[in-house]
Amino acid sequence: MVSKAKQLVRGGIGALALLPWLHAAAAEPAARPESWNLLNMPKGVTSVSQNVYDIHMVVIWICVWIGVAVFGVMFYSMFAHRKSRGHKPANFHESTKVELAWTIIPALILIVMAFPATTSLKHLYDTSEADLDVKITGYQWKWKYDYLGKDVSFISELATSQASIYGSAPKTEFYLEEVTEPLVIPVGKKVRLLMTGADVIHSWWVPELAVKRDAIPGFVNETWARVDKPGIYRGRCAELCGKDHAFMPIVVNAVPEEEFNAWLAKKQSETVALRALTEKTFTQDELMAKGEAVYGRTCAGCHGAAGEGVPGVFPAIKGSKIALGPVADHLAIVVNGKSGTAMQAFGAQLSEVDLAAAITYQRNAWGNKSVDNIVQPVDVFKVKNGQ
């Protein structure tokens, strides 16, 4: 159905405008929240966001009043000076005084606006004396959060199912706004956010924090947020970053400090436990079960749910030379990526266990039968550490 519709579109055939109506009859979306009254920028929960909101409102009202004055004159003239009402045209065509006035007055209004804007921008740029540093890395199409110096790091990606996106499952309240693991930050603390990109440029935007900063590969940008109110704040990627640009949301969970410390301690112990798991030897069934999940989450976006790829863009894994060839080559491309292509270095994103499971899955699924068909976490560890 989807690909057929696509052909219609590409061929320029068919009444395009009617398609969504037809579809609406087929799969009614779930009840959605009342959104008619979402008209303005949120006031937000940081001093920066409240500052920005105030400036936004001041400028809007200045524009509204200028608009009332200018359009007032215009509408009066449009009505009163119609030929059909017998109005005879005047013949004036210049007046130095008037023209000077409407050059100078707007310039003065602009100067008035520039003051609060400058103050607010300086505040926004003051990243000094932070209590906590979090490095945010944008990947196609997920975010990675590193708590610098705390030995905690994880990937946060879309938790909405493909079935929900393509209409075969209902859309729930936080459709496209839910992630596998939110960024957790303490309330009342100044958190410095260090942004970078792993592949293309992304932009980390949470409206209620008034934080939007580009995540650029090869560079580190910094900005900050101090959230005053505990709560869950949702945002999105704001810079076009490829196919799944719309599918890499952001969720920030601001919690009281004690809760944050408890969470941090738990994450740290998980990191230790995961390292221990790296030394364990898994059975093929264990790896396959885990690998299927990792593959679906991380690899299927490009290489297809059944390893079929996208002809001309993303290679297939089913029957591929790499999946059937020597295990060293397979490990190398997954861990280090392939420069100059969209194939990322997954060594930096996934744990040894997840990588071993995904590679094992690729070498055994969909009729793939390779000679060295099992990869253990320790094999991945060796490649990651150049042994």
Partner 1 sequence: MAHGPAKGIGRWLRATNHKDIGTMYLWFSFAMFLLGGAFAMVIRAELFEPGMQIIKPEFFNQMTTMHGLIMVFGAIMPVFVGLANWMIPMMIGAPDMALPRLNNLSFWILPFGFSLLAATLFMPGGGPNFGWTFYAPLSTTYAPPTVNFFIFGIHIIGASSIMGSINIIATILNLRAPGMTLMKMPMFAWTWLITAFLLIAVMPVLAGAVTMMLMDINFGTSFFNAAGGGDPVLFQHVFWFFGHPEVYIIIIPAFGVMSAIIPTFSRKPLFGYSSMVYATAAIAFLSFIVWAHHMFTVGMPLAGELYFMYATMLIAVPTGVKVFNWITTMFRGAITYETPMLFAVAFVILFTIGGFTGLMLAIAPADIQYQDSYFVVAHFHYVMVAGALFSSTAAVYYWIPKWTGRMYNETMGKVHFWVSFVAFNVTFFPQHFLGLAGMPRRYADYSLQFADWNMVSSIGAFAYGASQLLFLYNVIATIVAGRKISDPKVWEGAEGLEWTVPTPAPHHTFSTPPAIK
**How many residues contact partner 1, by CB under 8 A?**
120
The answer to whether the bond into 205 is cis (omega within 30° of 0) is: no
Which one among 47, 50, 150, 176 touches partner 1, defined by CB under 8 A? Answer: 176
Which one among 43, 135, 189, 243 touches partner 1, defined by CB under 8 A? Answer: 243
**Two tokens, residue 44:** 């937000």
Which one among 107, 273, 276, 371 touches partner 1, defined by CB under 8 A? Answer: 107
Q: Output phi, psi for 135, to 5 deg.
A: -90, 130
- Cα separation, 319 vs 329, in Å, equals 15
Which one among 43, 47, 50, 55 touches partner 1, defined by CB under 8 A? Answer: 55
Does 371 participate in binding partner 1 (rule CB under 8 A)? no
Does 65 participate in binding partner 1 (rule CB under 8 A)? no
Name which of 205 and 263 has its Cβ closer to partner 1. Answer: 205
Do the beta carbons of residue 380 and residue 274 sit within 8 Å?
A: no
- In the complex, least distance from residue 328 CB atom to partner 1, rounded to whole angstroms: 24
Q: What is the enclosing helix (H) or strand (E) of 69? A: helix 47-80
DSSP label at 149?
T
Residues 7-26 that bind partner 1 (CB under 8 A): 9-10, 12, 16-17, 19-20, 23-24
Name which of 272 and 310 has its Cβ closer to partner 1. Answer: 310
Q: Count of CB atoms within 10 A of residue 139's CB? A: 22
**Two tokens, residue 235:** 């945002």
**Window of 182-190, 209-217, 351-359, 379-387 that interacts with partner 1 by CB under 8 A:** 209-217
- In the complex, least distance from residue 355 CB atom to partner 1, rounded to whole angstroms: 22
Residues 121-160 that bind partner 1 (CB under 8 A): 121-122, 124-125, 140
DSSP label at 187?
T
Q: Count of CB atoms within 10 A of residue 19's CB? A: 13
Residues 183-202 that bind partner 1 (CB under 8 A): 195, 199-201
Name which of 218 and 386 has its Cβ closer to partner 1. Answer: 218
- In the complex, least distance from residue 319 CB atom to partner 1, rounded to whole angstroms: 19
- Cα separation, 19 vs 21, in Å, equals 5
Residues 258-277 that bind partner 1 (CB under 8 A): none
Using DSSP, state whether 214 is helix, strand or coil. strand
Burial class (CB in 10 A: 0-12, 13-18, 19+), 227: buried
Does 333 participate in binding partner 1 (rule CB under 8 A)? no
Does 232 participate in binding partner 1 (rule CB under 8 A)? no
Do the beta carbons of residue 331 and residue 351 sit within 8 Å?
A: no
Does 68 participate in binding partner 1 (rule CB under 8 A)? no
